[in-house]
Amino acid sequence: NAGVTQTPKFQVLKTGQSMTLQCAQDMNHEYMSWYRQDPGMGLRLIHYSVGAGITDQGEVPNGYNVSRSTTEDFPLRLLSAAPSQTSVYFCASRGGGVGSPLHFGNGTRLTVT
Amino acid sequence: AQTVTQSQPEMSVQEAETVTLSCTYDTSENNYYLFWYKQPPSRQMILVIRQEAYKQQNATENRFSVNFQKAAKSFSLKISDSQLGDTAMYFCAFKFYNNDMRFGAGTRLTVKP
């Protein structure tokens, strides 16, 4: 199994540009989420989804959009990139009960200049 | 809101020795889940161990074990017989029923030969 696949692995954007980070999972997990990782702050939740057609905001949602049209895919869109969005982004999914662990993709390092 | 605190930004240990990483959390809930994740230089997030709050017995996984003190809201990770491959960032995480997993800021562990 591929698990959780994120693309691209690295990306450089200029301020004001938009882009979409792709995330796909092949484990038939209902729950998917996006985190950003910044030094000294751990991972912070951006958006999450408990199933196709359902999304909700996490701790730091501003400047990001998500949609969930299928169980497999959960793209993250940056509408107008800002230097404050320079970070490492992780997509994760979870199956089973509420106590099941998250399965993570390998992350995307995004730099906004 | 639940918070997770890792008070040791960096730690080091000699190969084959034992090290303990600290984690405390704040919650008013009674049933929840705690996790330790490892992030090696490859950036991959790897589940190390999981603890259910309603279980009094401390979880163990090979060389990794936890000391779960529910009343003190403490969840430390002990690594026995440390190996060079244990060098990584370690994140403590807390999960309550509402699907949101909260992470600490992380502890960077270096295993010295």
Kindly state the tokens that stand for B48.
Answer: 């190390």
Bridge partners (DSSP) of residue A12 are A111
Asked whether the beta carbons of residue B45 and residue A92 sit closer than 8 angstroms, the reply is yes
CA gap B102, A44 in Å, rounded: 7
Contact at 8 Å (CB) between B93 and B103?
Answer: yes
Asked whether the beta carbons of residue A42 and residue B104 sit closer than 8 angstroms, the reply is yes
Q: Which residue has the tokens 């691209």?
A: A8
The model's confidence at residue B63, banded by pLDDT at 50, 70 and 90, is very high
According to the model, what pLDDT value does residue A41 have?
A: 87
User: What are the tens digits of pLDDT across the range A8-40?
Assistant: 999 999 999 999 999 999 999 999 999 999 988
Predicted confidence (pLDDT) at residue A1 exceeds the cutoff of 70: no
Asked whether the beta carbons of residue A101 and residue B50 sit closer than 8 angstroms, the reply is yes
Task: Give chain B positions within 8 Å (CB) of A109.
Answer: 43
Q: Which of residues 56-75 of B touch A (CB under 8 A)?
A: none
The model's confidence at residue B23, banded by pLDDT at 50, 70 and 90, is very high
Residue of chain A whose Cα is closest to the Cα of B99? A98
Contact at 8 Å (CB) between A91 and A76?
Answer: yes
With pLDDT > 90 as the criterion, what percentage of chain A qualifies? 90
